[in-house]
C-alpha cells in the first residue's frame, strides 16, 4: 500500500475536489453515481469512487479560439 494515499474524503473535501456544491454532490450520491460511506456520524466519500465518476464523464468539447487581431 502506498503511504500518504488518501482513501476517503469528507463531503467538503469531495466538493472541493470535484468543483461542485453540496447539493450537487448529494444528488450524485442519491443517483448512485458516487458512493458514500458512514464513519460514525460522518459521511465520507471513497477517493476511488470519485476517480471512477470523473473517468466516466464524457470528454469536454475543445473549442479553439482564433487569435484576436486587435
Could you read off the pLDDT of 18-64 as tens digits, one per residue? Answer: 999 999 999 999 999 999 999 999 999 999 999 999 999 999 998 88
In Å, the largest CA–CA distance within the chain is 59
- Helices 11-18 and 47-56: crossing angle in degrees, nearest 10, is 30
- The residue that leads in pLDDT, 53 or 68, is 53
* pLDDT at residue 68, rounded to an integer: 66
Amino acid at each position: 500500500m502506498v503511504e500518504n494515499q488518501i482513501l476517503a474524503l469528507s463531503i467538503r473535501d469531495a466538493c472541493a475536489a470535484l468543483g461542485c456544491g453540496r447539493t450537487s454532490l448529494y444528488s450524485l450520491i442519491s443517483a448512485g453515481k458516487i458512493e458514500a460511506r458512514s464513519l460514525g456520524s460522518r459521511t465520507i466519500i471513497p477517493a476511488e469512487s470519485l476517480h471512477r465518476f470523473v473517468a466516466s464523464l464524457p470528454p469536454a468539447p475543445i473549442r479553439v479560439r482564433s487569435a484576436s487581431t486587435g
